Amino acid sequence: SQTIHQWPATLVQPVGSPLSLECTVEGTSNPNLYWYRQAAGRGLQLLFYSVGIGQISSEVPQNLSASRPQDRQFILSSKKLLLSDSGFYLCAWSMVIDEQFFGPGTRLTVL
Amino acid sequence: DAKTTQPPSMDCAEGRAANLPCNHSTISGNEYVYWYRQIHSQGPQYIIHGLKNNETNEMASLIITEDRKSSTLILPHATLRDTAVYYCIVRVGNSGGGADGLTFGKGTHLIIQP
């Protein structure tokens, strides 16, 4: 069966510090991978998606970047965090069947 | 993706059927209706999707009107664990190509009362 992992579960970082969130998927090959963010009191917003290694599509301009160094690994990064980067970050995967499976999420607080 | 309209919140008694409406009056012919839910502090969970026929699975039933401009998600016997935000999403199915992400609105906060 397929599983998706995210870490860390929670993170508190100062403004201006770097960020690296990791997502890995097990039990499947060549999945589509997604990063979403849910800011406080707001809906889920798609940030990035990837259809293969090294292939990243960005949905909104922002202070964040994404990379896919391996088939089942998706990384969300920032060189300098802003207060507005606080939120709940969710990774998801999908295959041809189109249903998306979400990870447990990382709650990021930028102080 | 077409826009959907959902009530912001609903209450339902435990053990009763919960009927969650969704309006999608601008839906296109190749767009599907998807339902996800998000329990507090967790990632969204897929529930069901359909094109024009009614659908049923172990979690819920989806009733789509003949003109496809609205739909209803039915949880037949709601439990306290069904308390969550329910999202109705309209999008082209995977056969339409692409790996686009989902566009989530604000959804309906369903509260199951004991």
Cβ–Cβ < 8 Å for A95, A25: no
**φ, ψ (nearest 5 deg) of residue B90:** -115, 130
The whole-angstrom separation of Cα A93 and Cα B20 is 26
E-state strands within chain B: 9-13, 18-23, 31-38, 45-50, 55-56, 61-64, 70-75, 84-92, 108-113
Closest CA in chain B for residue A90 = B43
Which pLDDT belongs to residue B99?
62
Mind telling me how many Å the CA of A4 is from chain B's nearest CA?
11
Residues of chain A with Cβ-Cβ distance to B36 below 8 Å are: 100
Question: Does the beta-carbon distance from B104 to A45 stay under 8 Å?
Answer: yes
Residues of chain A with Cβ-Cβ distance to B42 below 8 Å are: 104-105
**φ, ψ (nearest 5 deg) of residue B39:** -80, 145
Q: Number of A:B CB contacts under 8 A?
A: 52
Cβ–Cβ < 8 Å for A108, A7: no
Question: Parallel, antiparallel, or unpaired: how do β-strands B9-13 and B108-113 relate?
Answer: parallel
Which pLDDT belongs to residue B97?
46
Mind telling me how many Å the CA of B107 is from chain A's nearest CA?
8
**Per-residue pLDDT tens listing for chain A (111 residues):** 889 999 999 999 999 999 999 999 999 999 999 999 998 877 889 999 999 999 999 887 778 999 999 999 999 999 999 999 999 999 999 986 568 999 999 999 999
Which pLDDT belongs to residue B96?
43
Question: Does the beta-carbon distance from A46 to B102 stay under 8 Å?
Answer: yes
- Chunked into runs of 10 residues, chain B (114 residues) has average pLDDT values of 86 97 93 93 92 94 96 97 96 62 90 96
**Beta partners for residue B106, in sequence order:** none
Question: Parallel, antiparallel, or unpaired: how do β-strands A106-110 and A10-13 relate?
Answer: parallel
